Amino acid sequence: MKRVLVVWVMLVFAICAAADAKKAQVSTKPLPTTTPRVNSARAMQYTREVTAIGNRQIGSPGHKKTEDYIREHLKGDNVEEDVFTAQTPVGAISCRNFIAKYPGTKDGIIVISGHYDTNYGLKNYVGANDGGSSTALLLELANQFRGKKLEGYSVWLVWFDAEEAVKDWTATDGLYGSRHLANKWRQAGLLTKIKAHMLLDMIGDADLNVDRETNSTSWLQDLVYQAATKLGYQSYFFGRSLAIDDDHIPFVQLGVPSVDIIDMNYGPGDSYHHTPKDTIDKVSAKSLGIVGDTVLQTVQMLNKN
Ligand SMILES: [Zn+2]
């Protein structure tokens, strides 16, 4: 569970207007061939397969299967497995972040991340959007960066473990993987090399409305919006503003430019979030494509800076 700290700041009519306008605003015009695109059908297929594993909470058989699934899809890549122990309210649990590294020509790193665990202690829960969509889209992004000489910053893809709280969301229950990795990278002197960190969470919602998350770094968030606008996707972004505790926070606190790309309103009144209703039929290839393309476009823009 992510805590919403600030209530909606946009006027209701503005949200409604944005929702009405958005379908018509998706560009169908062919884009220049230099515009990078993800394979959204493949990202959707990955989401389907990860979701089919079922419950993926830390310490569970489904969690282990998900680790194998990620490993299998990153075969041959430079992958670091960052094993650590989370001290949770139900005891110590072994956890693991995955970091896939794709070298670039420019000094510096762009981190793109998401979490792969699902909510703890829920029955009949498969987390298609919350956990599934980010796991899958990161694997599709890996397909885009693999085997290429990246003309720009290196790209590191991170699958965080143990984002979800085990009991109640507090400063010490939740964000286990990101807190661990931010601290590890701080000790290694790596944080200053990170030019930008884009976190993806709950981005598969078929009714996509990415929030303007107010703990995020403004210039990076503005760049994401510019990227979305360039692709004709702007109406899917930033219709409302709110603060969310998520895996970017440990990095923000240590001065790493970070943006949380998240749609926190999942289903009517957020009624699918952390419930058995978070199923694959609520996720769309189109939404995965919109976010994936926007991320690739942002990377391209960062490389030009
Ligand atoms: Zn969650």
Q: Which residues surround ligand 1, an ion (CB under 5 A)?
A: 130
Residue-wise pLDDT for 55-114, tens only, equals: 999 999 999 999 999 999 999 999 999 999 999 999 999 999 999 999 999 999 999 999
Tokens for 284, please give them: 């769309």
Q: Measure 178 CA to ligand 1 centroid, in angstroms.
A: 14
Q: What is the edge-to-edge ordering of all strands in the sheet holding 150-160?
A: 78-88, 91-102, 150-160, 104-115, 194-201, 258-262
pLDDT above 80: residue 181: yes
H-helix or E-strand spanning residue 50: helix 40-52
Q: Measure 109 CA to ligand 1 centroid, in angstroms.
A: 27
CA distances from 160 to 16, 31, 100, 126, 256 (A): 34, 33, 12, 17, 17
% helix / strand / coil in the chain, to the nearest 5? 40, 25, 35
Tokens for 301, please give them: 């823009």
Number of helical (H) and strand (E) elements in the chain, helices listed first: 8, 8
- If pLDDT is split at 50, 70 and 90, which confidence band does 305 have? confident
Radius of gyration of the CA atoms of the chain, in A: 18
The Cα 194–Cα 211 span in angstroms is: 23
CATH architecture, domain 12-304: 3-Layer(aba) Sandwich (3.40)
Helix (H, G, I), strand (E, B) or coil at 227: helix
Residue-wise pLDDT for 98-142, tens only, equals: 999 999 999 999 999 999 999 999 989 999 999 999 999 999 999
Q: Report the share of the chain in percent with pLDDT over 90.
A: 87
Q: What is the mean pLDDT of residues 146-166?
A: 95
Q: What is the mean pLDDT of residues 258-263?
A: 98
pLDDT above 60: residue 12: no
User: Does the predicted TM-score (pTM) go above 0.85?
Assistant: yes
Q: Measure 303 CA to ligand 1 centroid, in angstroms.
A: 31
180-218 burial, b if ≥16 CB within 10 A, otherwise e?
bbbeebbeeebbebbbbbbbbbbbbbebbbbbbbebbbe
Residue 21 half-sphere exposure, CB side, CA atoms within 13 Å? 14
The domain limits of the chain are 12-304
Q: Measure 118 CA to ligand 1 centroid, in angstroms.
A: 7
Residue 279 half-sphere exposure, CB side, CA atoms within 13 Å? 4
Q: Measure 152 CA to ligand 1 centroid, in angstroms.
A: 33
Q: Which residues contact 139 (CB under 8 A, 6 or more apart)?
A: 43, 46, 70, 73, 74
CA distances from 256 to 5, 149, 165, 198 (A): 21, 25, 23, 10
Q: Measure 246 CA to ligand 1 centroid, in angstroms.
A: 9
